[in-house]
Structure 1
Amino acid sequence: MLERPRLQKKQAFQPTFGAQVVEEGLTRFVLWAPSAHRVDVEVEGLPSVTMDKSDDGCATAEVACGHGARYRYRIFNEKDDEGDEQGSVVPDPAARAQAGDINGPSVVIDPSHYQWENVDWQGRPWHETVLYELHVGTLGGFKGVRQHLPHLAELGITAIELMPVSEFPGARNWGYDGVLPYAVEASYGSPDDMKALIDEAHSYGLMVFLDVVYNHFGPDGNYLANYADAFFRKDLVTPWGPSIDFRQPMVRRYFIDNALMWLEEYQLDGLRFDAVHAISEQDFLVELSETIRARIAPERHVHLVLENEGNTASLLNQQQFTAQWNDDWHNVLHVLLTGEQEGYYGDFVDDATPRLARCLSEGFIFQGHTSRHGHCRGEPSAHLPPTAFVAFLQNHDQTGNRALGERLSVLTDADSLAAAEVLLLLSPMIPLLFMGEEWGSTQPFLFFTEHNEELAQAVREGRRAEFADFSAFFDEQSREQIPDPNALTTFEASIPDFSMRETTPYSACLARYRTLLALRHLHIVPRLACAEALGAKVLGDKAVLARWRMNDDTQLMIALNLSQQSVATPGLGVGQLLYETSEGAAKAAESGRLPPRTAAAWLRDNPGEEEVCE
């Protein structure tokens, strides 16, 4: 039998900026440099070429080179040119790859160089999504992540979510300090290596999402202001420096093209947009989503997910954004599980159980309500489907932004955590797991970097000062115990030890996750499209009963009790038991009392309206 030839998908999209291979042996270079007097492109082994400037500020040149060529831009300001200076050499801010680190040469990448295997892949519907967030560097780069795909597919994961992979300083970083959004981090592998990971994930039926950062650039290696000072606002500052000026059409084009590159050239199934509340021009988000939706073929399932402290419910629809990470869900459950009250958890301490009930009924807790800082945030969200919210017990932020990077497995008792996992994995919200969570890893996930020493010292001091108001770190001696972000040992301590997952006691946690995810795919996912919340009832302190009407008119019920006492469950009725965290817990609940630190889930056929929670 003849082997079917590998087909290459036509690359219909070409970004406005960067190095674009026009034909074999010919590349067009485009740099938006409105502040520069002159721009030269220097390709290694070839004479320097002065680029043509257009009225829109773009410098353009075509050079006889192709895939793999190394190049830089040389920027001349007026004073440089008049003084016959050498100018300043910078990387391409739209380079698809770097030869080395952020200050090395940029590399011409021909997108057609990679030959796709899974050319017919169209993604998966959103309601089938079970996300698994991972850090590529701690798993050994793109090739290392590929080794974990069989385990994740067998577990019941349907989508992996990569923390940012754009080029950042050094080889160790969370990725949120990126300065070259188009370039794949060299320490993780090449663009082809990333495509091979995505291609293989698709062969396992796994979607691949990418976390992208459009709200700021990192503090090291950002040269945009040298030749495009209009890129940043002078009147608005973010926690990370001057605000990006999204009033500029070219700035919008830069980021919209970046999103389209990931979705079209890399065949990603979705993007998670980091901290969009820090983008001053919120209408940019609408333009971004509308442009993506207009360009992506309708038969493809492409999902756009927000991180947004603003809880802007009006953005969450299939025509704009698919869903939002629901920090409210995490924060209130974290308070109930751990009793912690400091920092942003302070907003969720008072009336924590009624707040959880609101979250399960309506999505967001903050829907125009006032935070501890006196600010109103959020919009009404009860009209949205449960699948508009991504729920999680742990993620990179909520773990790694702790001073010592502790996971929930060391912050709360095992029975309560197992009960919360039932709510995470069987509720109609879209669940997200953080790498290692599935076997109850007790290893920390810490904040790590590899900056130059001057910046490393500033990050080290800033990290310790950040926790000065926390009771555990009031004195300087205790703050010195916070791991140094720039130390290699901090990174190494954050590498998950997957060999532990089949050993005692971790294997029991892994088996529970396998079971719960199998139940989700068998009983919840087929009923999930058009599911709606029916309400959640407070049963007692730290205890709730939530109900949802599924698309076949069955009713999903989850009873959760995180307290130390049993709670009354009047009028619960009897249904098909899906899961209970301890033997007899469901029967006890059906008889009128849910035991402490337990949870149970049922499906009921066509219950009467009088039994729906108010």
Structure 2
Amino acid sequence: MPETRTTFDQETSWGPRLTASGAIFRLWAPAIERLELAVEKAGEKAGDRRFHDMHRDEGGWWSIETDAVAVGDGYGFRVNGGTVVPDPAARAQIGDVHSLSRLVDPHAYVWKTAAWKGRPWHETVFYEMHVGTFTPEGTFDAAIGKLDYLVETGITCIELMPVAQFGGQRGWGYDGVLLYAPHEVYGGEEGLKRLVDAAHERGLMVFLDVVYNHFGPDGNYIGLYAPEFFHPEIHTAWGAAIAYENAPVRDFMIDNALFWLNEYRIDGLRLDAIDSIEDMTDEPLVRELAARVREKITGRHVHLTSEDARNIAWHIQRDDKGQPLLVSGEWNDDFHHCAHVLATHEEEGYYSDYVRNSVKQMARSLAEGFVYQGEHSRHRDKEVGERSDGLPPTAFVNFIQNHDQIGNRAFGDRLTDLASRRVIECLQAILLLSPQIPLIFMGEEFGDTNPFCFFTDFDGDLGDLVREGRRAEFKKFAAFHDAESRKLIPDPNSEATFRHSAIDWSMVDKPTNRRRLYMVRKLLQLRRDKIMPLLEDIPPHSGSYAVSDGCAFVVSWVLKSGQILRLFANLDDEPWTLPDTLSDRESGELLFAHPRHAEEDIHTGSLSGPSVVFRLTKMLQIRNAPDA
């Protein structure tokens, strides 16, 4: 019998590789004339460095194989005899993004769960967390102490906001610059491996948010030695576009995805803002990356999700067996926006696209995926989206809160502070019992009211630019037209903004919050026992819907073996008389009614509000309502 493997590594085109005679160091730097390996021995005086000439090939790669750097030593690259820069593909840093990198041995960590095979996609219940604010300590190791609580709640997957090394001590992580090195403040490479291992011991998957559309503004030295890595003439919201037509650049990112999945045993990746990837090639990066992942990793369940404001659908298509061809699920902002408008009645910014028809739009989102499937968006002043009605519900990740939708508000308000408790509870039931893949944001399960603000750790001119830029983003909102009101928006660089964004775990002991947690746990137990087993082999065009003139709707999904999951929802204060066409409304098994009297309402034919009812019935012919 072959020996069970307990250590893992991923060979990458960038970054160091240990060999029998030391290590090989490589850097793509086609624009420079000289490159030296800088070495700082562990335990010796800081700043006492030795330099070794590297050799260049015709493709612009510089390399050296040497025993001068031992595991634990610091190293970097001196460019043209001047600036010493860290390795952009380092697995660890000695300090911050401006310091030397640290050579590590990927095989030093011995995995307890080396045989872990993951979980199938349809069992996913996401819990999105920011490591730095999830616990008072803000570390990977501290997060381990909350894993049993998450399992008891019914979570099956933790999704980490980006952990790649970024400038400063604190931040959201979307401005990472060393994409192979877990943030040292969180606990570095060994801390992340311990967290993943501990999660797998408990049957939890771990997803990681990765950013392939830009680098952060602090500590990105790549342009110094490889300006060919970027397109300075092509501007994105975060700076120059990445030049993905260059093979070394493309390999940097695709290798990075495989690196996290293989060396860290991560179960899945969220590809951030793929609509902001300016790819000049005929083969989109996402298509190639996802295909490589599917090709290379076959012995365990590995999944990909994506964020894309274009409402595209080609990347989440299924094969003839209903399995994802590339990406498993797309974050569905349309569902969130409809739910938010119904709960808060806000209509500024992108919410303006959802005010007039939010009920019909929400029903359509639940039944078909996207709301905008080619229709004109007033906010964006163009046609948006592609047809998604033929995709299974599990092709979409739904949420009523996430890091963006909370943190991109001026004060980081959570939905708990913006809407009535009853409406929020109805929306949570819709989220957690509908067949789409649900995601909740940390603290949402017990109704945390602490804000989650946008925060960074920049100083000097960059700090001023970020602070004023953040406040300027809100000029178009009525509450912040004047400069004085914008000064009230929290300074993202203030440590207090970061501290105030931490979860308030003491709230779990309060009666109202215990009640919310109890309800969420009940809903997730129902999902596990009644819904999950029916989410495989969902037929195309499985969803249909009908709406009222008010805030009520019915959505039906044909699931496995012809079972029909049906949602009755009234999110208005006025009662809703159910249409006569729903004569079968009392048939089948009652799964959930909130509040409890909603079950009796269904029998009488008038559903008071706000309330929701879920029923599971046998196959019925359901006619779809007119297009939204």
TM-score (norm: length of structure 2): 0.93
CA distance in 1, matches of 2:195, 2:70: 24
| 8 Å contact kept, 2:31–2:226 | yes
- Seen in structure 2, the aligned counterparts of structure 1 residues 610 and 73 have a Cα distance that, compared at 3 Å, is closer
Match of 1:452 in 2: 459
Match of 1:304 in 2: 304
CA distance in 1, matches of 2:199, 2:431: 24
Match of 2:350 in 1: 344
- Summarize deviations over 1:426-468 as a string: whole Å, max 9, x none: 0000000000000011110001111123211111111111101
| 8 Å contact kept, 1:534–1:613 | no
Alignment of 1:99-498 (within 5 A): 99-138=94-133, 139=135, 140-281=138-279, 283-296=284-297, 298-317=298-317, 318-371=324-377, 372-498=379-505
Moved more, 126-135 or 218-227: 218-227
Matched position secondary structure for 1:179: strand
CA distance in 1, matches of 2:25, 2:557: 54
Where structure 1 has 5 or more consecutive residues not aligned to the other structure, the ranges are 1-5, 77-85
CA distance in 2, matches of 1:360, 1:226: 48
Where structure 2 has 5 or more consecutive residues not aligned to the other structure, the ranges are 42-48, 318-323
- Summarize deviations over 1:50-107 as a string: whole Å, max 9, x none: 111111111101121332121110011xxxxxxxxx4111111011111111001101
Q: Which of 607, 610, 613 is the matching residue for 1:597?
A: 610
Alignment of 1:427-576 (within 5 A): 427-532=434-539, 533-570=542-579, 571=582, 572-576=585-589
Matched position secondary structure for 2:517: helix
**Deviation for aligned residue 1:43:** 1.3
- Seen in structure 2, the aligned counterparts of structure 1 residues 7 and 200 have a Cα distance that, compared at 3 Å, is farther
CA distance in 1, matches of 2:534, 2:235: 46
CA distance in 2, matches of 1:341, 1:613: 25
CA distance in 2, matches of 1:610, 1:190: 53
Match of 1:82 in 2: none
**Deviation for aligned residue 1:500:** 1.5
Identity score, percent? 43
| 8 Å contact kept, 2:9–2:106 | no
**Deviation for aligned residue 1:476:** 1.7
- Summarize deviations over 1:479-499 as a string: whole Å, max 9, x none: 111111011110110110123
CA distance in 2, matches of 1:96, 1:13: 11
CA distance in 1, matches of 2:341, 2:456: 29
CA distance in 2, matches of 1:350, 1:251: 45
Matched position secondary structure for 2:16: strand
Match of 1:16 in 2: 13
CA distance in 2, matches of 1:408, 1:440: 9
- Summarize deviations over 1:281-339 as a string: whole Å, max 9, x none: 2611111111111111x231000100011222011031211111001110111111110
CA distance in 2, matches of 1:104, 1:192: 19
CA distance in 2, matches of 1:238, 1:357: 34
Moved more, 524-533 or 42-51: 42-51
| 8 Å contact kept, 2:366–2:543 | no
- Summarize deviations over 1:382-426 as a string: whole Å, max 9, x none: 111100000000000000000000001010000111111111000
**Deviation for aligned residue 1:472:** 1.3
CA RMSD in angstroms, aligned pairs only: 1.6
Matched position secondary structure for 1:499: helix
**Deviation for aligned residue 1:610:** 5.4
Match of 1:81 in 2: none
**Deviation for aligned residue 1:613:** 6.6
CA distance in 1, matches of 2:625, 2:600: 20
CA distance in 2, matches of 1:263, 1:15: 13
2:59 aligned with 1:61: no
| 8 Å contact kept, 2:556–2:567 | yes
Structure 2 residue identity aligned to 1:585: A
- Summarize deviations over 1:504-562 as a string: whole Å, max 9, x none: 21000000000000000000001111235330110332211111112032211111111
CA distance in 2, matches of 1:312, 1:280: 15
- Seen in structure 2, the aligned counterparts of structure 1 residues 496 and 293 have a Cα distance that, compared at 3 Å, is same
- Seen in structure 2, the aligned counterparts of structure 1 residues 49 and 610 have a Cα distance that, compared at 3 Å, is closer
Structure 1 residue identity aligned to 2:550: D
TM-score (norm: length of structure 1): 0.95
